[in-house]
Chains A and B, each alone.
Chain A
Amino acid sequence: MLNVETDLTERPGQTTENSIWYDAWSRLKRNKLAIASMAFLVILSGICALAAWITPYPYDLQDLETGAASPTLKHLLGTDILGRDLLTRLLYGGQISLLVGLCATMVSLIIGVPYGMLSGYCGGKIDALMMRIVDILYTLPFTILVIILMVVFGRNFLLLFAAIGAVEWLTMARIIRGDVLAVKEQTFIKAAVVLGLSRPRIIFRHIMPNVLGTIIVYTTLTIPKVMLLEAFLSFLGLGVQPPMSSWGLLIRDGAEVMESHPWLLIFPGIIFSITLFALNRLGDGLRDALDPRFNKT
């Protein structure tokens, strides 16, 4: 505590923030499961990103004569119907899935968080108007929206991120707005207003940390949702195209042949579930760590 106090006296503006992150980190460190999850995600992302150097096979190298073979030393997780190494495909698929998950979630954060905050903080007519816009956008059928985007901009992988993010921000904005509505009625915000702080400063310095928990938890829930959406779009021919793959596609293909070649479903399924589990654990840990209401004790 002493440390924080001294910081405060020296450079007030910056240190308050530092202390938030510092406290959060020290709280997070105590949560073993969250740390393990984080480590797992970092390692997994690293392995997927370095797939090209890790596996000796290209992701589209076929060996028709081998076909679907169960795991061996040569192919640690076996091969798929066209004789392609499953481990390789999992790693390359992970690149796509994690990238789509992260980017689309980022897009939804970048749009959704400021939108929801502004709407919640301003209240009144502005709030009503902004929320009605969200309502209207909600009514647009997702698939048709994506198809229209694809028709207008052509088949583009980046567009897929944008399209998914552009749809996911709606829920994000709503949840944030609800939280802001609750926070802004509290006395410390009133105090900030009385002190004459600028509106952006109140929103980002004083309200944001209080809704950070919600944002983070919802983010960790959005990532898996987006990964599943990507699989769905790829199946419709709007997302990743074969021979490229993603986890969602691998699982779908595996489910097709689960009776004869179960490993094609089991391995992608395991990786996908563990990743989702880790994301959720990490999100949970982060929420506990970042919530200023669990104050510095």
Chain B
Amino acid sequence: MALLQIKNLSHYFGGLLAVDNLNEEIREGELIGLIGPNGAGKTTVFNLVTGVYRPTQGDIIFQGQSLVGKSPHTINALGISRTFQTIRLWNMMSVLDNVRIAHHSRISYNLAEAFLHLPRYRHQEREIEERSMELLRLFKLERYAHEPVKNLPYGEQRRVEIVRALASRPRLLLLDEPAAGMNPREIGALMEFIHWIRDEFHLTIWLIEHQMRLVMNICERIKVLDFGATIADGTPEEIRNNPKVIEAYLGEQAEVH
């Protein structure tokens, strides 16, 4: 059974058709890509899946359960987590606190327990701090733990955002242009990194990307959107040779590695 199943999904912004009858089936453990020119509706798809928007039509089923109408925090708790096209960390807070917040849905102590410092509160807060530090260590970010996020270099902020997304223990991770603003060498490292987190955390990863090299190299399957509609779907090899894709997205002078 598919982990995530999208059926005839359409979304309008007023009269504008942003997503046009999208169908997708993502199986457990897959690493797949969503590409398309600017304004093709890629981020809108992520916003629909994570509950930021409610779809005009169609259904989104995650582990057998429909996500339509569920609030973003419920969907996060069910096991879908994401990063953002432009980094949306809490800049003034420390790296550690950014990661801690993402544990929110996994914490069960109540207000009275916190007020009175009862064992369950102390225990859970300590556990979360330890787990957050462990995650930061795993990503070699522990030396920044108490640093406000805004002081970190751009590339490290991107990594913190991924760590934060992993903190809620997702089964499906949505990466919205993880390579945005990175140079070719950084992209090389990022590709290994994405592979590594999928294996390490037993994740399914769906990513949006503009960098063709990244998508072509790591995705097992790619879907191409143009003006909200699916124009191609297949392995990187098939996408590379699809004339519709070359016309709509890659343009004549585009180079595909």
Q: Do A and B come from one complex?
A: no
